[in-house]
Chain A
């Protein structure tokens, strides 16, 4: 989709003057003899691989790769890029994703050769700038979250969860306890129970209360000495602050359990409140959410983990320390570590971007993120609540959840609303999550969106609600303004075609 140019404060159809270009697969463009790269002159003697290795150790050819000039490759991928939407084009109000603006300064600093051309195994003495950055970023994240120590190693939030649960397990084992269960609220992100299961734990679901937040009684009923931990997201996936968090963490601690905090929604709390003050023992950060690093079409992200001192002995190695003679070093000297989690030091390029972001915003800027994110979400809720069903009628933090309940009589679902919103120039919000709200529409604007942009979103959603009553078929067959109509996901799953093949057998 091309960009939108609609003026603010109008119910708007996006003006899409789209010269949509088709582009085949690389292999369909390929022609023998073309090459997109010139190699330098070989300044050493040529060798015959078949002579050095036995001939059956050497492959004859690379049939799966295309042959294209640089021009064709650049045209190919440039055209492909025009088929995507992106934060730089239009809002992505995806709940719990925090699709905020990706600062260009961060791209510049990550590309400095002193960061992009370094090697994970080079001596510490030759990378003091990097280690100082690690040390300061750890301290920044600890201050922001109220945790005591931080590891920057995990490559994503899910890997951070894995590390956190591993540390919890190691802590209990060191105490001589065998605990077999982890409590997870029914509103939790799927990575939570998956991470628990990967550590050999049985997952116990804790139901949310009727008001959308966890009740201490429910946690108390489920909390036994067999439970190693409670995993909790605060604010939760309904955008609600878990008001009983202190009592809840107290209940878990009283029976020797620990509390894992999923930090996906930290944007609502920056500078306002800190998980470490709420009884959280270990939490992960999503740098690609709260800290502005770009989503890159699916990654890379980074999922640093903060811990209280009780879990510090179990941090993954290597850890960053101040060196005896000054400066910093990496150390594997941590006797009770859970071990190495990442092959190297983590997604360093992402860490550099987040560090630059935190420097750019400072204390005041981070707090403003939380304030404006929460303001934006409440503004959307206030303007949409009459048209859309609100399952939990409570003040929200940085995201709000609506549902399609009011549209069911018209035979229109959340999916239809989402697909029609694409025609208005927006990426849809998160749909069908959290699972506890049937037909959920989870909307997180972030602080990056101006009031004008929010008004456009509101007016689009209001227009869609009218369309649902007047012309539901328009929604059910949406989107209409994209290169493709709705794609057949059933066919893709029933008859998976996961690679291109030379014979024209596919369709």
Chain B
């Protein structure tokens, strides 16, 4: 049964197996599977290839990777929920330490203080960025974090209706729909206004509304007016949820907590997490102190040992599935731990001044692009309200053609808005970050105006 070929991940030799079987008191390894009824045991090998060497696997994966355009092979202007930012080298160097990435959930606190302290630092920084009191230790992604925020508001208010901006990322909206489908909940959509901001919220909130959800900046990159929404929501006993897809905006815009949001959630991938075709990313969820018991996900708290030495532990665990089971705040168990560490390191490197400068740089790039668009015949900005690093452009030719031309010039020009907002006519959602040089922006504009090959 044991083949001669050693497998690099499994140490056992024939002699090892023989010795162990003696101790167990069984003649063959097969006998250890006796509890499985004979008719259920596979009588053929799995229809999979032979074991492969590292060399062979690497070659195959390189071949597959080579067939994918990416932000190193092309100039990148595509955002729409996943952002191309520069990741400092120290981030990957540090998370590649085995003690971080091959460690487990920090249930045994005494041998997990590295992980726990880093999470405590993350929680602190997210509180600072959102101006709220408590942040959890991550959700899967921005979309599920937003869905969990809605569920949280429904539990707190004991109401079943959610008012959602039409300018919430379409995927976030779809994920919200999926999560609410089994729970007799109702979703009301707050339309988009002329200038790209959401319509005043007051008309869409009543005594049955659990929460209002606005995205900040919204799907078209536009900065929403949160305090008006907060007032309207609170007047009817509802909560305001601010969902953020571009976390870098938190370094520039008025913090959601200060504007009156009760819950801030969304995606922190911009903080040092690779785009990686959409995952693993980093959902975040933060709220006011009074609501902490309804917050899903893990929480790290400060404490001490018997000698008074400060340390950190997972806490308020009775909210979670392993204790409360069917009455848990959520079923989440595994979260996005290592991505949280990437983001914590990233925020530590950029810091109080660097992160703000980076945000201003992103804004400057976008404003430059917008200024060039305004002076280019055939192109027009789709919305008049202010934006951060993303904005929508109307084109003189079909978006698909513009994208194809751009791709031939080595540029991924943005997101075709036709599937999402056909009423705009041919249009693209364009994102500019610190990685987009002026020249590259100029080339993009030229191609969009109908130039280029």
A–B: direct contact at CB < 8 Å: yes
When the two chains form their complex, are residues A499 and B134 in contact, meaning their CB atoms are under 8 A apart?
Answer: yes
26 of the cross-chain contacts (CB-CB < 8 Å) are: A25-B117, A26-B348, A30-B351, A65-B125, A73-B348, A83-B111, A86-B98, A109-B57, A112-B61, A114-B65, A114-B70, A117-B276, A119-B71, A120-B275, A155-B144, A156-B140, A190-B320, A190-B328, A193-B326, A243-B35, A296-B337, A340-B171, A359-B60, A360-B54, A369-B10, A375-B21
Task: Establish whether residues B109 and A191, one from each chain, have CB atoms under 8 Å apart when the complex forms.
Answer: no
Contacts A120-B277, A499-B133; A487 near B36 (Cβ below 8 A): no
- Our count of residue pairs bridging A and B at CB distance below 8 angstroms stands at 700
Decide: A86 and B334 in contact? CB cutoff 8 A: no
| Residue in B7, B56, B124, B279 whose CB lies within 8 Å of A346 | B279
Asked if A306 is at the interface of the complex by the 8 Å CB criterion, the answer is no
If A272-B36, A348-B278, A360-B52 touch, whether A76 touches B348 (CB-CB below 8 Å) is yes
Q: Does B294 contact A (CB under 8 A)?
A: no
Could you mark each residue 142-163 of chain B with 1 if its beta carbon is under 8 Å from any beta carbon of chain A, else 0? 1110000000000000000000
Asked if A299 and B336 sit within 8 Å, CB to CB, the answer is yes
Closest 4 CB pairs of A and B: A64-B128, A344-B278, A114-B65, A120-B278
**Least Cβ distance of B203 to chain A in Å?**
23
What total of chain A residues lie within 8 Å of the partner, measured CB to CB?
A: 199
A456, CB-defined interface residue at 8 Å: no
| Of the residues A56, A299, A382, contact of B138 by C-beta under 8 Å | A299
Q: Does residue B382 face the partner (Cβ distance < 8 Å to A)?
A: no
Complex Cα gap A493–B12 (Å): 45
Chain B residues closer than 8 Å to A461, beta-carbon distance? none
A78, A395, A498 — which one has the most chain B CB atoms within 10 A of its CB? A498
In the complex, A82→B141 CA distance in Å? Answer: 29
Is A343 on the interface with B (CB-CB < 8 A)?
A: yes
Q: Across the interface, name the chain B residue whose C-beta is closest to A197.
A: B326
Residues of B with C-beta under 8 A to A359: 49, 52, 56-57, 60
User: Is residue B187 within 8 Å, beta carbon to beta carbon, of the partner chain?
Assistant: no
Q: Inside 8 A of B298's CB, which chain A residues have their CB?
A: 298
The residue in chain B whose Cβ has the minimal distance to the Cβ of A25 is B121
- B421 at the binding interface (Cβ < 8 Å): no
B121 touching A126, Cβ below 8 Å: no
User: Within 8 Å CB of A92, what residues of B?
Assistant: 104
Q: Do residues A101 and B104 form an inter-chain contact, with CB atoms below 8 A?
A: no
A246→B82 CA distance, assembly (Å): 45
Report A306 CB to chain B, min CB distance, Å: 14
Interface residues of B in 73-115 (CB under 8 A from A): 73, 76, 78, 80-82, 84, 88, 90, 92-94, 96-106, 108-115
Q: Do A395 and B32 have beta carbons less than 8 Å apart?
A: yes
Bitwise, A147-179 to B at CB < 8 A (1) or not (0) is: 000000001111101100010010000000000
Known: A296-B337, A363-B49, A492-B302. A448 touches B9 (CB 8 A): yes
Give the Cβ gap from A269 to chain B, nearest Cβ, in Å: 8
Given A56-B254, A299-B336, A364-B50, A193–B325 Cβ distance below 8 Å?
A: yes
Distance from B435 Cβ to chain A, minimum over Cβ atoms (Å)? 9
Q: Is the CB of B101 within 8 A of A297?
A: yes
**Inter-subunit contact A342/B143 (CB<8 Å):** yes
Residues A115 and B68 in contact, CB atoms below 8 Å apart: yes
Known: A119-B78, A356-B57. A489 touches B34 (CB 8 A): no
Contact (Cβ within 8 A) B253 A59: yes
| Given known A-B contacts A349-B280, A375-B32, A116 and B274 have beta carbons under 8 A apart | yes
> Which of B5, B94, B111, B341 lies in contact with A427, CB distance below 8 A?
B111
Residue pair B316, A493 in contact (C-beta under 8 Å): yes
Interface string of B50-66 (1 = CB under 8 A from A): 11101011101111111
Query: Scoring B residues 222 to 262 as 1 if CB is less than 8 Å from chain A, else 0, what string do you get?
Result: 01000000000000000000000000000111110010000
Closest chain A residue to B304, Cβ basis: A488
